[in-house]
Chain A
């Protein structure tokens, strides 16, 4: 048995554990860049997960399930946007409400689907390449959503850095009054950014229930929505670091799976604590430097906008 035989499956599990975090954190990054703090990721992910699972079970179509999950996540985000942007409700409280609501709604929808199992998403086989040693299955043997998560991250990164729309989005997040004075529709842009974040959370949920563990259990996100929120802070609102953070956390998550295999005698509960403790640790390390946070955080995050004329 050589080292690669252990390494390749390990990398594969890292990818599967990281993908939902990457989706959710990329979406939240865009939302926060526009100045909106949506704490409801966990709720949106759960609803995305259950809708994806239900759609796939009923129609048998994975692509339909993915689209439905994104739409469901966006639908939840629309609720949030209406309350916080139109009715100017407190964003922190509304985000919490979205999570509580999402937990209940997903449990209700999912009640009929507990115990069912789905066929996992098919891997995209590229003849020849997927069979290449070591990197074959890692680079070319993933399912569609893994590629989509990378595409989304690259797309968002490019959009924020290079496109006019991205500049406008950032301007709205940095100074809504100036953006408004320049004639940009602050509320409309924030609506769109929030909807995008919701759709990405929906996809994160879809990945969990279609691919990671192709079944539905109540509360199956297990705090990943909150970890994704912490990742955005850890990444100091930069797409490249979101990728780094998501994969670092994926690595920590699979540590618990492999520790027992390597004969380490630690209770599974303590291993399961690792991602949460790691989240606290990275938050502390990154937040310690107040100036760094202040310089990188969108200046208007969480603040309500009401144009005065």
Chain B
């Protein structure tokens, strides 16, 4: 049996929103199989992973803590992905943001100034933007592929962090642990809810959602991003500058990733350590796709992906599931999502032979599927 795909005359809007739901459902079913394969009682494991972590208020605030960096970065990435600007180096931009903001805290560790935190946040944003400016410049000036350059710069950023916390920025009273000193109170993110770790960064994430929504629906640059993604030929024809979009989307994503980085170190972590992110920069790629590159979607997807982190931790403690299961869930979810997306542009029919699988195509012209083809 061969699958035959019949183009839909029009992209199915319903399916665009149905895909993520379908993908999450399929991921949960796959989860049952994985849990059974690992020798755990599947339903108990599923409950421990996806329900137990958010069964009380503390769980929900922790979900917010984890979702904060994911939403911030996911929003930034979704802007670029719309215009086929593939920034996958958010992890590095997050790291440099944390370094820039953290550096200010470390050098002013006796400061009690109310300006310390704003200065750190600003430095974090600028740091992330500066790191993202490198692939933007290399892309627009030398045509170098931003996927590879931004990713390579992530490795460089993490090594730079490692150098600093092992060397010059190591806490002089820290018994030689590779960690910086703790940030002063004036350099800590205010907590939004008493007795929780939910911090100001969560508000920034919501602001980013609103900001992205305004940019996409009201601003010219947002319109250009959408047109370049949906109809590259039309965008060329009216003379939208591709370089301008590359710069805009990389700087926006870099700034937001930098903000996420400084929020993490000034929030839940409180100092610089060799690992400040469990791969938020990469998971945010899934967040952007799962959220359909739409700001509100990204917010919801950020919460879903935050749950995979939280569930992974809970399941590790409660039933001894390996931490790596989190990564599998995230990868599988993206696979299902991409697979389900085929239904937005095509109907699936079964064909009896390979040759038959090509037969009969209604003359509807090339469907919008072309759009998602990489350049």
Contacts and interface: CB of A to CB of B under 8 A. Distances in A.
B145 A79 contact: no
Contacts of B159: 269-270, 272-273
Nearest to B158: A269
A184 to B, nearest CB: 12
B282 interface: yes
A90 B147 CA distance: 15
Contact of A97 (B331, B358, B369): B331
Nearest to B285: A96
Contacts of A103: 327, 331
Given A88-B369, A304-B370, A287 B142 contact: yes
A290 interface: yes
Interface in A68-87: 79, 83, 86-87
A100 interface: yes
A135 interface: no
A87 B163 contact: no
B349 to A, nearest CB: 13
B143 A287 contact: yes
B144 A104 contact: no
Nearest to B330: A100
B373 A90 contact: yes
A309 interface: yes
Contact of B149 (A227, A267, A280, A308): A280
Contacts of B156: 273, 276-277
B179 interface: no
Interface in A268-303: 269-270, 272-273, 276-277, 279-280, 283-284, 287-288, 290, 293, 302-303
A93 interface: yes
Given A87-B339, A223-B152, A302 B375 contact: yes
A39 interface: yes
B147 A107 contact: no
Given A103-B327, A104-B327, A267-B167, A288 B160 contact: no
A101 B328 contact: yes
Interface string A178-191: 00000001001000
Interface string A250-279: 000000000000000001011011001101
B280 interface: no
A18 B374 CA distance: 30
A284 B151 CA distance: 14
Interface residues of A, number: 58
Contacts of A105: 324, 327-328, 331
A229 B145 CA distance: 11
Nearest to A229: B148
A89 B145 contact: no
A37 interface: yes
A155 to B, nearest CB: 27
B335 to A, nearest CB: 5
Nearest to B370: A304
A102 B88 CA distance: 17
B33 to A, nearest CB: 13
Contacts of A7: none
A106 to B, nearest CB: 8
B358 A279 contact: no
Contacts of B330: 100-101, 104
Interface in B319-366: 322-332, 334-335, 338-339, 341-342, 345-346, 354, 358-361, 366
Contacts of A98: 331
Interface residues of B, number: 60
A217 B207 CA distance: 40
Contact of B338 (A39, A89, A267): A89
Given A276-B156, A304-B373, A101 B338 contact: no
Contacts of A283: 138, 144-145, 148-149
Contacts of B342: 87-89
A201 interface: no
A284 B142 contact: yes
B335 A83 contact: yes
A230 interface: yes
Interface string B130-150: 000000001000111101110
A281 to B, nearest CB: 10
A302 B155 contact: no
A271 to B, nearest CB: 9
Contact of A284 (B138, B163, B282): B138
Contact of B155 (A91, A107, A273, A303): A273
Contact of B143 (A104, A185, A288, A308): A288
A108 interface: yes
Contact of B286 (A100, A269, A288): A100
14 contacts: A37-B374, A88-B5, A92-B374, A93-B338, A96-B88, A96-B285, A107-B322, A107-B323, A108-B322, A108-B325, A276-B155, A276-B156, A280-B153, A306-B7
The 9 closest A-B pairs by CB, nearest first: A104-B327, A101-B331, A107-B324, A302-B374, A269-B163, A89-B338, A108-B324, A97-B334, A104-B328
Interface of A: 37, 39, 43, 79, 83, 86-94, 96-98, 100-105, 107-108, 111, 185, 188, 218, 222-223, 226-227, 229-230, 233, 267, 269-270, 272-273, 276-277, 279-280, 283-284, 287-288, 290, 293, 302-304, 306-309
Given A88-B345, A107-B322, A304-B373, 12 more contacts: A39-B147, A88-B346, A89-B372, A90-B373, A92-B86, A97-B335, A107-B324, A188-B354, A276-B155, A284-B149, A304-B369, A309-B361
